[in-house]
Amino acid sequence: GGGGRGGAAVPPLPQLDFDLCAATPQKLEKLGRSGLVSLWHALPAGPPAPPEGFYEGTLLRAGPLHPASRFITHRLFSPSGCDFWLGKTIRASEGKGENTFRAQRRGAGAGAGAGAG
């Protein structure tokens, strides 16, 4: 039977030995790639327009391609002078969101920069 995203069957929710609302990246990484995909399929979608503000992000170390994913996200997507993805900044009043990056550390005064996203 269908019923999943795009008509595909939805995998069952993986067994969790922790409260999902209190999940840490380390706990989620223990699910592995297939468990994370199952969890993503099973959870409801968020609001169509998330509240304005900054949303901290974490790239999980899951699956064999996570090193390449980290490199692409932190280095290739970052604007010049930045070296680490921090999360998303949502500007609902402007109808946009953008990736937020940390400026490269060159002594004191490192801050955050924003890039299109």
Q: What is the DSSP letter of 75?
A: I
Residues 29 and 74 in one domain: no
Give 72-80's long-range contacts (Cβ < 8 A, gap of 24+).
Answer: 77/115, 77/117, 78/115, 79/113, 79/114, 79/115
Residues 38 and 60 in one domain: no
Residues 14 and 25: their CA atoms lie apart, in Å, by 16
- Average pLDDT value for residue range 56-65: 89
Domain that residue 97 falls in: 53-116
Would you say residue 31 lies in a domain?
A: yes
Residues 36 and 60 in one domain: no
- Residue 65 neighbours by CB under 8 Å, 6+ apart: none
Residues 74 and 35 in one domain: no
How many distinct structural domains can be found in the chain? 2
Would you say residue 48 lies in a domain?
A: no
Residues 60 and 81 in one domain: yes
Identify the weakest region by mean pLDDT among 13-22, 45-54, 62-71, 75-84. 13-22
The residue among 28 and 4 whose pLDDT is bigger is 28
Residues 70 and 97 in one domain: yes
